[in-house]
Chain A
């Protein structure tokens, strides 16, 4: 039962809201946890057990570490290493394409959606406790809620434990918050159902043609469709999660800040999946950088942390290369482009570079991706063919709308426009727009009941 399904939107979600608001405030946290466990269990009790087991192990190790720290023990690193290896192991068992013998049978048949986020969250928690940045949690209910909180279970925003704890404590549910939450949720839903699903069809159409028969322009369109689809899938789920959470009065942060129209790779990177990138900076590059003063080593560490982020996305060489290229491009940028370049030039350069990098995330193998990039630059000696025209004719509207929606142009217009009238009209129309979009998304989900395409299993 993922967020973009009829059963969730017209079943689980309204019911959970009803229960939540009927409960007295003191019980709400436990109520949320129980509902989250039901949500988790809906993917299978095996899934619930995995999550619960992971929670208990990390909770216990956190407690042990907290106690050891208090006693001034020199061996606090032992539970840390144990915990990190357990979490890493979990991540690898589920994500890596291991040969049959190495892969335990329970990990074979099903993939617990969100396990990649879970492992990062708990690893971050352990490291924070180790460094004293965060107190070890005593209350297991609170900790369970952190790991299983259903609005962030499926690729929702990745949060540090202390931030989450604060958000839950200062929750303030109200009708207005539900309104804000629903607007966000519907925005995310539209990103997923209207944009991402259709872009995926387009990407699939390009992928179904042999690479050596593609024309350059078709290849570019395919890459564009993939990158946009990835952006709308990830940010759609993040928005849906944040929106649901707002309805419960728990304010989480945004994950994406319109990265697609940036004038530097640097700015793109700082707006793309912010919490996730922040995690890799906080727990990988920053601690490593304290070890050395040499600038070239520090640069290497910087690129390495991006490689890790890329690897986390894909769990293969392609992901690693994607990370290395983004990190490398940022390094080069900081060394070479000292002067200000024209904003428009910067935007075009960033946009194109992001498409090219994206090919490595999309491809099944690094060699295949390389071949694809060669085709993008005219490897088949064909600029465009009838397929390009077919793609443009079929998808022009969706492409234009989604490119526009992926930029911050609309938000800027809302914030900066001189005429307060437009702003007022749009604000007044919001309730109608939100309801209409919700109904339109329902139309698109009505046949199969859900839109489950997720592009990446995270």
Chain B
């Protein structure tokens, strides 16, 4: 009996191993993963260089894992299983009952490179400079995290960042605005970023500082563009039980019209575009609906004739914020350092603007800040 079951064990397990080996090798290979929204690893090249440190095996392992037969099924099963048997942390994402949160918030360190850059910018340009550091969802909903993951909260990170800014820069306390409204749908459940409503709430304060009266909420017509948005935290954790999110558009038909929106790519070609990129809704990365063309520069002209021009320097957290600003300016210039090659000065003359608004997610401000190294 013992012998027979041993032989059977061997047959079973060998079958499993060889079936997955062969299907993994012979299955047609995909270039990108739709579920994970990223390009899949390619077969590494053999060379004496990458052999000596084991880089080749590392690449091969990456390739084998990415193209492993039935990967999508495996990893969504992993998220469910892991959440069951231990702490609810899957691939660095904390799964709470109501939303997904970034579990690595305490490991982030604020990078002062950005603060230094903004200080220098304010010194060298005569216009007024405004700065808004936007918390991510874990900043506002940090209470949902277990204590030990929250030794270094976003509130501290933001105030440390603001402490590093010169006094002449007007700082916008987005954190407390959003924190007070945390019962509303101001953050996506499956993403780090704020929703359009969250952006609107901060807009009300920002625009007053910039010298305008905010457009009141009831003037807007709100349309749900999609209710199937899966944010980056979902993509990272592949936790199927999280609810998909809604993407909204706030339109004000009686208000100012957008006459033109052009995007400039990094090689200087100008493209016609729109502040809403509907084609992104067909892709897994639906957040790119908000100006997500990947251009470093956008120029928006409106039907307003007040000759007010605004320069916005931001990351993609701010893209859903821009539409609200269009009600007040005849021209808005949007620059995104993360897509830039070279410094800001090669895109526009910063001294021409009376007002410059910096809007960044605090998570961006915590990175190493390489794209900001160029002097203004």
| Minimum Cβ distance to chain B for residue A392 (Å) | 11
Report whether B13 and A7 are in contact in the complex, using a CB–CB cutoff of 8 Å.
no
- A75 lies within 8 A of chain B by Cβ: no
Cross-chain contact B57 with A43 (CB below 8 angstroms)? yes
Within the complex, the shortest CB–CB distance from A394 to chain B, in Å, comes to 4
B85 touches A397 (CB 8 A): yes
Interface string of A399-430 (1 = CB under 8 A from B): 00000000000000000000000001001101
**In the complex, chain A residues whose CB is within 8 Å of the CB of B151:** 208-210
Known pairs A6-B64, A440-B81; A434 contacts B9 (CB<8 A): yes
Count, A-B residue pairs, CB within 8 A:
170
Q: How far is the CB of B173 from chain A (nearest CB, A)?
A: 29
Q: Complex Cα distance A7/B57, Å?
A: 9
A104 interfacial contact with B, CB 8 Å? no
Residues of A within 8 A of B224 (CB): none
Pairwise interchain contact B146-A183, C-beta atoms closer than 8 A:
no
Query: Is A85 at the interface (CB under 8 A from chain B)?
Result: no
User: Are B61 and A427 closer than 8 Å at their CB atoms?
Assistant: no
**In the complex, what distance in Å separates the CA atom of A280 from the CA atom of B39?**
51
Say which residue of A41, A387, A398, A450 sits within 8 Å of B61 (CB atoms). A450
**Within 8 Å of chain B (Cβ to Cβ): is A86?**
no
Verify if B123 is at the interface (C-beta below 8 Å from A). Answer: no
B26 beta carbon closer than 8 Å to chain A: no
Interface assignment of B6: CB less than 8 Å from any CB of chain A = yes
Enumerate chain B residues within 8 angstroms of A440, measured Cβ to Cβ: 81
Inter-chain CA distance A210–B71, complex, in Å, is: 38
Q: Which of B1-40 contact A (CB under 8 A)?
A: 1-3, 5-14, 16-18, 20-21, 24
A279 → B minimal CB distance (Å): 28
**CB <8 Å contact, B86 and A202:** yes
Q: Which residue of A lies closest to B36 (CB)?
A: A447
Within 8 Å of chain B (Cβ to Cβ): is A28? no
Q: Which of A5, A175, A177, A390 makes the CB contact (< 8 A) with B147? A: A390
Residue of B nearest to A426 (CB): B5
Assembly CA distance A70 to B104 (angstroms):
64
- Which residues of the other chain, A, contact B20 by a CB distance below 8 angstroms? 10, 442
Q: Which residue of A lies closest to B68 (CB)?
A: A6
- Residue numbers in B under 8 Å from A7 (CB-CB): 57, 60-61, 64-65
CB of A179 within 8 A of CB of B7, answer yes
**Does B77 make an interface contact (CB < 8 A)?**
yes
Q: Does B177 contact A (CB under 8 A)?
A: no
Question: In the complex, which residues 222-256 of chain B have their Cβ closer than 8 Å to any Cβ of chain A?
Answer: 238
Distance in Å from the Cβ of A243 to the closest Cβ of chain B? Answer: 10
Most chain B CB within 10 A, of A43, A109, A202, A449, is at A449
Q: Report the Cα distance A42→B52, complex, angstroms.
A: 9
Are A394 and B86 neighbours in the complex by a CB distance under 8 Å?
yes
Q: Is A180 an interface residue when CB atoms closer than 8 A count as contact?
A: yes
Whether A176 contacts B10 in the complex (CB less than 8 A), given A43-B54, A450-B61, comes out as yes
The digit string for A167-185, where 1 denotes a CB below 8 A from any CB of B, is 0000000011111111100
Q: Complex: how many Å from CA A47 to CA B56? A: 13
Q: Name the segment of A11-19, A59-67, A155-163, A259-267 touching the other chain.
A: A11-19
Closest to B15 in A: A435
Cβ-defined contact, B12 with A431, below 8 A: yes
Q: Which residues of A contact B9 (CB under 8 A)?
A: 179-180, 182-183, 430-431, 434-435
Q: Among A10, A178, A205, point to the contact of B87 (Cβ < 8 A).
A: A205
Given known contacts A6-B65, A41-B51, A198-B86, A438 and B13 CB-to-CB distance under 8 angstroms: yes
Residue-wise interface mask of A (218-256) relative to B, using a CB-CB cutoff of 8 A (1 in contact, 0 not): 000000000000000000000000000000000000000
List residues of chain A with CB within 8 A of the CB of B85: 194, 198, 397-398
Smallest CB-CB A-B distances: 8 pairs: A449-B65, A179-B6, A446-B74, A44-B54, A179-B10, A179-B9, A178-B10, A431-B8
Q: Which positions in A face B, CB cutoff 8 Å?
A: 1, 5-7, 9-11, 13-15, 17, 41-47, 109-110, 175-183, 186, 194, 198, 201-202, 205-206, 208-210, 386-387, 390, 394-395, 397-398, 424, 427-428, 430-432, 434-435, 438-440, 442-444, 446-450
Query: What 7 new A-B contacts, CB under 8 Å, besides A176-B10, A427-B5, A449-B64?
Result: A10-B20, A176-B3, A205-B146, A387-B148, A394-B87, A449-B68, A450-B61
